[in-house]
Amino acid sequence: MPKNHPDLHFRELHRLSLADYAGYPELYREYLASGLRLTGMTIGLVVRIQRETCTILAAQPDSAAVAVGETQPLGETWCAAVVAQQRPVAVADAGRDALLPGHAACSQHSPKAYLAAPIWVNNEIYGTLSFFACTPQKEGFSRNDRELIELMARGLSVFIERDQLEQQRLESLHRMQQSIDLFESAFRFAAIGMALVSPEGRWLRVNDAVCQILGYTADELLAIDFQTITHPDDLEADLAYLQEMLAGHRDVYRMEKRYHHRSGRLVWVLLSVSLVRDPAGTPLYFLSQLQDVTEQKRATEVLHKQQRELTASNARLQRLATVDELTEVYNRRAFFDKFNAELERSARAGLFLSVLIIDVDHFKQYNDSFGHPEGDQALRRVAAELERCGRVNDVCARYGGEEFAVVLPDTDEKACLRVAERMRAAVEQISDLRRPLTVSIGCATTVSRHGQQRVVTTEAMLSRADKSLYEAKEGGRNRVVQSPSLVQDPVEAKLTDAAAPT
């Protein structure tokens, strides 16, 4: 039977495909030997092509002066024609063909004929199966010859792909085993609690840290679900997060929750949960991490309590610094702070500002007649009525003894008189004291105007109000007296607290 007979080719290809090879060297040797025998060529090569470089992986016959492992640029080899055409190449007489002359592996043999096919691996040219002859092939290469080389190259492709898949499988198994070993080690010896929980909430597996945190043995936990030992106030939120994860709306969640310890006490835990699904997306189990934060929660509560106490203490100190203890309106120092601020604001914005000085009429007689406790109660009642009659932004303060002072922002003379009269009438109508009381009120008002060089101070305003108070008392008491308005320049206005206490 002729060596290029199709039946002979088929039987040889069948034998090669069924053979069991110890490795790549034996595989290449068998394929090259069969190719040389069936084609009558002189030299056979398996060439690897990577990044425009050709590397000889195998050569036959063994006597061929070819160095396995030798490399050469792809463009200087006849393999370039195979890569360019991406199909088998058959050149019966190189001297009459446009291919590159002088193949590196066969230069000593002056190759004249070339028969090669690409080896495809994962849809890329892995290399070539190449055969050379040192004499031209007068009869040329038949279709059977080209198909034989192509099928042999495909046979190599199948073996290489299968081997690469096997290597990838083994590598994946190795990595998976490493991951399993690492997970097992991390799970068992983790400093924090780790647990696998079913989608229904049953404990599937717990490590020692979980048992230590919750006080149960592993067998006791595996016999119940997490809902059984979760604090009722935390259960609803926990279950809602789980449902969101099962529905695919979130990947993980973290929350602080309470568990009932086996001893009966509550344990605070920082819980982190992720969901593990199978390749089809079906939920398998929850991976939960539990960190005992009971002591941190206690320390935080203690800190918050101390902060609340400090805030309350500061508020009390602030109140003591600004509020008159007897009447619970502003004290004299706070009055001057606010009065100066309002006077500066009125000067800057060109606004009216009024101030009242109020004196309780014949208070010494009331105190002497009914005693200091009754006098104190009377002052509290008067202060309450004055503050009630004021507006939101008005500042009512105890000025000293039985005197009060009120700052009225954004208030002109007419409005000042209305407020003062309302206060006077309110005090006169107090009915729950040992005897009725009245007050005398002196008023002063200022307004900023451009072009005026006069400077209004707190001392000047209070002096005007005090003078009006004197006139009210001289006029028979239980009345309001308004002094003429003061004018200040908004740019030049300067404040002093000469009348403020030191």
**Could you give the residue ranges of the DSSP H alpha helices within 323-371?**
332-349, 363-370
Same domain for 426 and 277 = no
Tally of domains within the chain:
3
Region at 70 (left for phi over 0; alpha for psi -120 to 50; beta for the rest)? beta
Same domain, 44 and 121: yes
Predicted pLDDT at 126: 96
Tell me 74's DSSP state: G
135 and 197 in a common domain: no
- Give dist(CA 71, CA 453) in Å, integer: 101
CATH number of the domain that 414 lies in? 3.30.70.270
- Alpha carbon distance 240, 10 (integer Å): 67
Q: Are residues 13 and 148 in the same domain?
A: yes
Check whether residue 264 and residue 411 sit in a common domain: no
214 and 79 together in one domain = no
Bridge-based pairing state of the strands 203-206 and 193-197 = antiparallel
Residue 144 domain-assigned (yes or no): yes
- Report the CATH number at residue 210: 3.30.450.20
Q: Are residues 115 and 150 in the same domain?
A: yes
Q: Is residue 405 part of a domain?
A: yes
Residue with token string 């002088």: 102
**175 within some domain:** no
| Domain identity same for 335 and 450 | yes
Looking at the fold, whether 363 and 440 belong to one and the same domain comes out as yes
334 and 478, same domain (yes or no): yes
Alpha carbon of 282 to those of 22, 145, 276, 378, 405: distances in Å?
A: 42, 54, 9, 79, 77
What is the domain-level CATH number for residue 102? 3.30.450.40
Helix (H, G, I), strand (E, B) or coil at 295: helix
Question: What span, in angstroms and rounded, lies between the C-alpha atoms of 363 and 404?
Answer: 13
The pLDDT score that the predictor gives to residue 274 is 94
Domain match, 152 and 287 both? no
| Tens digit of each residue's pLDDT, the chain (502 residues) | 455 567 788 888 888 888 889 899 999 999 999 999 999 899 999 999 998 999 999 999 988 888 899 999 998 888 999 999 999 999 988 766 655 454 444 444 567 899 999 999 999 999 999 999 988 888 888 888 999 999 999 999 999 999 999 899 888 877 877 776 666 666 766 678 999 999 999 999 999 999 999 999 999 999 999 999 999 999 999 999 999 999 999 989 999 999 999 999 999 999 999 999 999 999 999 999 999 999 998 998 898 899 998 888 888 888 888 999 999 999 999 999 999 999 999 888 888 999 999 999 999 999 999 999 999 999 999 999 999 999 899 999 999 999 999 999 999 999 999 999 999 999 999 999 999 999 999 999 997 664 443 457 899 999 999 999 999 999 999 999 998 866 555 444 443 333 343 2
What pLDDT does residue 456 have?
A: 77
The parent domain of residue 74 ranges over: 6-166
pTM, two decimal places: 0.44
Beta bridge partners, 397, equal 330, 405
Residue 271 in any domain: the answer is: yes
Domain endpoint, select from 166, 182, 210: 166
Q: Is residue 449 part of a domain?
A: yes
Residues 23 and 81 in one domain: yes
With respect to residue 73, please indicate whether it lies within any of the assigned structural domains: yes
Strand partners, 258: 268
Q: Does residue 143 contact residue 88 with C-beta atoms inside 8 Å?
A: no
Residue 308 placed within a domain: no
The C-alpha atoms of residue 85 and residue 48 are separated, in whole angstroms, by 17
> Per the structure block, which two tokens stand in for 10?
């088929």
Residues 6 or more apart whose Cβ sits within 8 Å of residue 203: 195, 196, 197, 221, 222, 224, 225, 226
Does residue 179 lie in a domain region? no
Instruction: Provide the 3-class DSSP secondary structure of residue 118.
Output: strand
* pLDDT given for residue 449 in this prediction: 60
Say which amino acid occupies 155: G
Q: What is the DSSP letter of 225?
A: B
